[in-house]
Amino acid sequence: QKEVEQNSGPLSVPEGAIASLNCTYSDRGSQSFFWYRQYSGKSPELIMSIYSNGDKEDGRFTAQLNKASQYVSLLIRDSQPSDSATYLCAVIPPTGGGNKLTFGTGTQLKVEL
């Protein structure tokens, strides 16, 4: 079983719609969860982090965490063409040190006009 799993997509949504991206993780003790956005040919950039069950909102982005079900999701409201990118879910597992991230393979989002 992969440690962090994401649907590779592409996920296509019309402009102005809500995009919903999901991620599951295998290590129940994981405490820190991140969503990175990566444009084609560019480096990842952090857009959301969450560590408590529930929702965390930042502008058009909402991260949702459910530790009992071991999933974390990212909602993008009022999707814009500029949101078209690959979204990487990352987790810090409980074992080991070094603040190491384990990444999923990413979900490609396409926002269509």
Partner 1 sequence: NAGVTQTPKFRILKIGQSMTLQCTQDMNHNYMYWYRQDPGMGLKLIYYSVGAGITDKGEVPNGYNVSRSTTEDFPLRLELAAPSQTSVYFCASSYPPRGEPSYNEQFFGPGTRLTVL
Contacting positions for partner 1 (CB under 8 A): 4, 8, 32-34, 42-46, 49-51, 88, 92, 97-106
Measure the CA angle with vertex 35, ends 58 and 84; round to 5°. 85
* 12 vs 105 by CB, closer to partner 1: 105
Minimal distance, residue 32 CB to partner 1, in Å: 4
* 56 vs 60 by CB, closer to partner 1: 56
Q: What is the residue-wise DSSP string for 80-106?
A: -GGG-EEEEEEEE-SSSSTT--EE---
Q: Compute and round to an integer the Cα radius of gyration of the chain.
A: 14
Minimal distance, residue 113 CB to partner 1, in Å: 25
